[in-house]
């Protein structure tokens, strides 16, 4: 028995990494598998929400009943969210979009030059998607962020709540075994706007998705 307690709610979930091309055969990306975001999309859909999953390159199967949009770059993720954001009740940013992209795309494969041992590539900033929508959100819209940290978990995550205007943030220390990228489990602390911190034990990403969806539902009420 599933309680369909999110009927009529429109939820955008982002998941996975982005890829930023260097030349026709190379790109920069990160270790996100998409598992965390897909688990949230699946749970929201199971509970009756109208779910749009916007994901970078992953191998995962799209959950039943979910509207799916594939993107490659951070800029594309922003533009795709923009198509749905005005009508959405919630935006969940579980994706790991690249903060930087190569300044120049080389349309020819970069060659290995004899006698040159060092290759330098310049990067420029990508837009911060969560901050972009955080600045535009209406009072009845909710934005949930994630923070992937290797140090000063609480401090860094708390700063992101403010700079991105989030309703709450799910912070994972990605150096811990069983937490963060690629694995089926996660270990997180949920931090709220008022500074309250809730530390959760290790659990399956599917289990954590239920907790996150419960929090969202409570705030929407």
* Interface residue list for ligand PMT (CB under 6 A): 16, 32-36, 74, 93-97, 99, 126, 128-130, 145-148, 160, 164, 172, 174, 180-182
Residue closer to ligand PMT by CB (options 51, 95) is 95
Per-residue exposure over 55-70, b if at least 16 CB sit within 10 Å of its own CB, e if not:
bbebebeebeebeebe
Is 176 buried (19+), middle (13-18) or exposed (0-12) by CB count in 10 A? middle
Residue closer to ligand PMT by CB (options 66, 148) is 148
Residue closer to ligand PMT by CB (options 116, 151) is 151
CB-based contact 209:188 (threshold 8 Å): no
Annotated ligand binding at 122? The verdict is no
Neighbours of 8 (CB within 10 A): 9
Find the shortest distance in angstroms from Cβ 94 to ligand PMT.
5
Annotated ligand binding at 151? The verdict is no
Annotated ligand binding at 99? The verdict is yes
Find the shortest distance in angstroms from Cβ 142 to ligand PMT.
13
Q: Which of 38, 22, 78 is nearest to 182 (CA)?
A: 38
Scan for tokens 């998705």, then name that residue. Answer: 209
DSSP 3-state of 148: strand
Find the shortest distance in angstroms from Cβ 169 to ligand PMT.
7
Find the shortest distance in angstroms from Cβ 26 to ligand PMT.
20
Residue closer to ligand PMT by CB (options 74, 141) is 74
CB-based contact 129:93 (threshold 8 Å): yes
Question: First-to-last CA distance in the chain?
Answer: 22
The token duo for 165 is 């205007």
Annotated ligand binding at 125? The verdict is no
CB-based contact 49:6 (threshold 8 Å): yes
Catalogue the active-site residues: 30
Annotated ligand binding at 138? The verdict is no
Q: Which residues are annotated as part of the binding site for CTP?
A: 99, 109, 146, 160, 164
**Residue positions forming the annotated binding site:** 99, 109, 146, 160, 164
């Amino acid at each position: 028995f599933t309680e369909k307690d999110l009927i009529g709610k429109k939820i955008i979930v982002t998941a996975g990494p982005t890829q930023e091309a260097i030349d026709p055969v190379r790109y920069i990306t990160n270790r996100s598998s998409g598992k965390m975001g897909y688990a949230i999309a699946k749970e929201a859909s199971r509970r009756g929400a109208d779910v749009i999953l916007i994901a970078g390159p992953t191998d995962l199967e799209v959950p039943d009943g979910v509207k799916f949009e594939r993107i490659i770059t951070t800029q594309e993720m922003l533009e795709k969210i923009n198509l749905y954001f005005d009508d959405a009740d919630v935006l969940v940013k579980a994706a790991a979009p690249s903060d930087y992209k190569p300044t120049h795309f080389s349309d020819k494969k970069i060659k290995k030059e004899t006698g040159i041992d060092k290759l330098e590539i310049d990067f420029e900033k990508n837009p911060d998607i969560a901050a972009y929508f955080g600045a535009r959100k209406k009072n009845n819209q909710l934005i949930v962020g994630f923070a992937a940290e290797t140090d000063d978990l609480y401090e860094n995550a708390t700063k992101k709540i403010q700079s991105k205007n989030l309703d709450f943030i799910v912070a994972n220390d990605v150096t811990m075994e069983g937490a963060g990228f690629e694995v089926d489990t996660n270990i997180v602390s949920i931090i709220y706007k008022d500074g309250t911190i809730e530390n959760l034990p290790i659990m399956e990403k599917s289990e954590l998705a239920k907790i996150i969806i419960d929090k969202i539902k409570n705030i929407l009420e």
